[in-house]
Amino acid sequence: MADPLLSFTDRGIYCARGDFHIDPWRPVARALITHGHADHARPGHEAYLCSHAALPVMRHRLGDISAEGIAYGETREIGGVTVSFHPAGHIPGSAQIRVAHKGEVWVVSGDYKTTPDGLCEAFEPVSCQHFITECTFGLPVFKWAPQQMVANEINSWWEAQARAGGYALLGAYSLGKAQRLLRMIDPGIGPILTHGAVEATNAVLRAQGYDLPTTHQVTPDMDIKAQAGALVIAPPAALGSAWARRFKGASTGFASGWMRLRGVRRRRGPDRGFVVSDHADWEGLLDAIKATGAENIYATHGYTEIFARHLLELGYNAQVVPTEFGGEDDSPETEAA
């Protein structure tokens, strides 16, 4: 039997025939990258290929890299292997990567969600025989409410703080989640302030044409009292810092899929937890897998054992593949859920 087109190595997912890696976690010569979060787009590779929409934020995060963009759906031949990038719906510029050779087709999902969010390019199913899928939220307990319902909850919370002359301090990851929330909230309630990490990412995405409401970066000389009634968006790590303590008496919120779990809400300790995720929920994962038509499923980062076992019960040829993804993405204590 011929070797499979993709294999799993100590550097990451590898295509020997094309001599490239996908989202490798150790330095390689040629890296195809699904999206800009730090566990997938790491420094040190000699050459990068990503979607056109992901390229600016990758340069912002990784600095002076040798990188090239590719349009969604465009095909590229690498060592006789055909590759293409397709929207993953995770964050702006995120992609699934299709790899094909002589009728053998693999798709690497990266991270994805199947419901449109009004910000990033909507998920598109890609037919294949082999599907490498994340399962960050691969438990039946994870079921996302309609986005507008959650937006109403956030707006009501913010409006209550604004009426009292206070602040609503919301923890949200600086790439993807923060910008999605900016599209969800009602800017008519009050001013919107941002942490520098969020505002820097806003600037990159605005320059690409993503439509975001007006925001103001919090600076050392800002008169905080004059910003009463503001919504303040900051990375989770900033919530307990001296930076956040400038907003005296602020009500704190945290936006993450992990807010679905009471234990995580207690550990995080926000006044309010909003269940907003840029990953597919249980049903979204199953729907995405079904839409590919794939028989062979490889579960990575998340509730892999439970999810793979369920897939086996459904009749798929499923297995768990250990990876080193997760730094920002699949831990309730880290940045991109």
Number of other CB atoms surrounding residue 76 within 10 Å = 15
Domain at 147-274, CATH from 3.30.200.20, 3.90.226.10, 3.40.50.10890, 3.40.30.10: 3.40.50.10890
Name the class of domain 7-141+279-320.
alpha beta
- The pLDDT assigned to 1 comes to 47
**Rounded Cα–Cα distance for residues 197 and 325 (Å):** 22
Res 333: pLDDT: 39
Question: How deeply is 233 buried, as exposed, middle or buried, from its count of CB atoms within 10 A (0-12, 13-18, 19+)?
Answer: buried
Domains 7-141+279-320 and 147-274 in one fold? no
DSSP 309: H
Residues 6+ apart with CB under 8 A from 115: 89, 123, 144, 147, 284
Q: Where are the domains of the chain?
A: 7-141+279-320, 147-274
**How confident is the chain (337 residues) per 10-residue block, as mean pLDDT?**
88 97 97 97 98 98 97 98 98 98 98 96 98 97 97 98 97 97 98 98 98 97 96 94 95 95 77 96 98 98 96 98 66 43
What pLDDT score does 71 carry? 98
pLDDT of residue 327: 43
Closest CA to 298 of 280, 284, 319: 319
Rounded to two decimals, the pTM is 0.94
Return the closest-CA partner of residue 228 out of 291, 286, 149, 167.
167
